Amino acid sequence: MAEKKGAKSIFISEDDRYLFGQGTHYDIYKKLGAHVTEVGGKKGVFFAVWAPHAAAVHVIGSFNGWNEDQYLMERQPDSGIYTLFIKDVKQGDYYKFLIHTPSGEKLYKADPFANYAELRPGTASRIYDLNNFEWKDEKWIEDRASKNEFERPMAIYECHIGSWMRHPVPENDGFYNYREFADRILEYLKEMKFTHLELMGIAEHPFDGSWGYQVTGYYAPTSRYGTPDDFRYLVDLMHQNGIGIILDWVPAHFPRDAHGLANFDGQPLFEHPDSRLGEHPDWGTKIFNYGMSEVKNFLIANALFWIREFHIDGLRVDAVASMLYLDYGKQDGAWVANKYGGNENLEAIEFFKHLNSVVRGSYPGVCTIAEESTAWPKVTAAPEEGGLGFTFKWNMGWMHDFCEYMKLDPYFRKNNHYKLTFAMSYNSSENYILPISHDEVVHLKCSMVNKMPGYQVDKYANLRVGYTYMFTHSGKKLLFMGQEFAQEREWCEERELDWYMLENHLNRGMSDFMKELLTIYNKYPALYEIDNNWSGFEWMNADDKDRSIYSYVRKGKSGKNNILVVLNMTPMRRENLWIGVPKKGKYKLLLNSDEERFGGNNGVIPKTLTAVEGECDRREYHIEFTIPAYGAAVFCF
């Protein structure tokens, strides 16, 4: 069969097989899977699948009535890759690979490299050509590569599309499609002043209740909300309006679903063959075999796929700790030590270094973010310096201490004062993001506002002062949807957010407060330019535990428009409070969390304070004012 000129590159070459076997074929998704092409003047689709243990593989689909005998694939030499061109197959057609095992078993598998999938509960893959979308985000991509991500504001809005907002009519579960969601959330993000949108559950997954963290289609945006080009519209629109897109990415494990990656060709292929290394007993999922070149290639190429084909600005890597530790979630005797007798997963470590080296080297400005809950060293250090190479790390220690402190009755806060100061003692060890994620508002943990002590009005006041601490502390920020207006119920993926609460004074006030706080965060470089060392942060008083008062300064590179923050974590109004300050001069009030428009009691703080001589907090100058109960005051000087 003669090939059409220009179509040859779609087929599997000897170089393709070699690079894939070495784990360095970063374009492998352009070869494996299903690709619309032309051969001998005939339009059709080229299919390719990696199934080295298979006795034979057929392509079956809607285009041939799911006939199991018609389309036998050809095995390529020395690779375990099977290929076949089928004419007249077209966009939107459904298909699967029928894998025959040596024992005579038949496995009906979705395509691991498919770009589109049948809407659940269906499990077939679908033909989709990714070559027809016209991007309009060139300026964003150019700016992204030229700017220092560490010196830019990053206020991330973590979001689950299916439960952010829904249609009242339950067609397709009431889900907004990608385009509808994009148009609506763009307006909201711009109004609230978030800089990035982090999306949960985009890669195809069979079970809504997994929130997208048990993936079967790593190369396919979920069909729950539309087509791959619909998803591209979402990314493109955000970029045209100055908003970055981060995806949650799950290279740690995958589910056992029969149509997915588990025992793909009748034997462990993507997972480690030793169950002590290849299974998570607590989660009931399979663990990728990070020591196998083709598996590493599958994952690294997948990261690059989202960056290249969907212009994603960052990947938040889920469950990193579970990958780094061989004994994670396992009992004694149920795991295997490394060759040195330790519990470190040496193959996963090398995988991360490889992944982050490729992303860093190829796409400046694209970030990788580790959700890593332990004290593993150098998560964000460069691989050549012995680090894992991530751009940022979620500061889970900060999150835990913050939530535990804020839940306390204020009487007990004086004995736990250190919980809000401890994070600065290790802040310079990594490039941190401070996360209040979906995990903190599910499974009976309560919403953020209902974690707070006191009567209802106290809860909201506590949350306002807590958020002020978060958004003025060193580190980039992440807040899960609904917490910006203090939704009182826990999050549930089966319903939309409680938007009706914005009719309440306290919730509208919280929303307005967050809008003001985020406006200040974005406007003043002192709050984001220097996040990872002490030159950007200075305690005025970290030790006022008896009054539960915190005061500190954030500084920018220019030395101008620095920020002074004063927090009162008790229900006691502090009259004529002295706060030590770095220098004499005027201190302009930017934010008073007790204003009535925010739901507060309208405790007055002067718009401008003048520092006067008089020793306080080991400083030569101080300001004096009355800070309201559960009050936060932010000044510029």
- Which residue in 118, 149, 371, 594 is the catalytic one? 371
Angle formed at CA 251 by CA 246 and CA 255, multiple of 5 degrees: 115
Cα separation of the two ends of the chain? 76
Q: Which of 229, 318, 372, 430 is catalytic?
A: 318
At a CB cut-off of 8 Å and minimum separation 6, what does 322 contact? 252, 253, 280, 328, 329
Burial call 579-611: b when 16+ CB within 10 Å, e when fewer: bbbbeeeebebbbbbbbeebbbeebebeeebeb
In the sheet that 74-75 helps form, which strands lie side by side, from edge to edge? 33-39, 42-50, 81-87, 74-75
Report d(CA 561, CA 543) in Å as an integer. 25
Contact 481/158 with Cβ under 8 angstroms? yes
User: At 23, is the secondary structure helix, strand, or coil?
Assistant: coil
Residue whose C-alpha is closest to residue 267's, from 131, 497, 431, 100: 100
Structure tokens at 251: 């290279």
Which structure tokens are listed for 242? 């100055």
371 is catalytic: yes
For residue 96, what are the contacts with CB-CB under 8 A and spacing of at least 6?
59, 60, 61, 108, 109, 110, 111, 123, 124, 125, 259
3 state DSSP class of 624: strand
Contact 287, 355 (CB under 8 A): no
Write out the two tokens for 23.
Answer: 């784990």
Place of tokens 């004694």: 332
Catalytic residues: 318, 371
